[in-house]
Amino acid sequence: MAKRPRRNHTPAFKAKVALAAVRGEKAIVELAQQFDVHPNQITQWRNQLLDGAAGVFDGEAKAAAPVPTVDVKTLHAKIGELTLENDFCPARSRRPAF
């Protein structure tokens, strides 16, 4: 028996299947046949949906990844240092010597 290639389902498909499982209009086995997915996978997606549902109503806005603070003086010093190195060794730099 040939193995089925691994399938990657889109988040929209997972949400549709999980919502159908939460509604409970059909049994998990029937949903598995309808969507051609293993019943255990449907159960996992349903549990993930139910666990994450509280986050939808969370009043706090989730902050994006924290932006690291940049020390501008250090960056300017490094730029000056590299510029000096390039001007000091014109044979190695790509700019022509003046």
pLDDT, tens only, 35-85? 999 999 999 999 999 998 888 777 665 555 677 788 889 999 999 888 887
In a domain, 36, yes or no: yes
Residue 42 contacts residue 32 (beta carbons within 8 Å): yes
In a domain, 92, yes or no: no
Q: Cα(19)–Cα(22) distance, rounded to whole angstroms?
A: 5
In a domain, 17, yes or no: yes
Residue 15 contacts residue 49 (beta carbons within 8 Å): yes
* Domain tally, the chain: 1
In a domain, 19, yes or no: yes
Question: Model's pTM, two decimal places?
Answer: 0.56
Residue 29 contacts residue 53 (beta carbons within 8 Å): no
- Residue with more model confidence, 93 or 2: 2
In a domain, 39, yes or no: yes
For residue 23, the enclosing domain spans 10-52
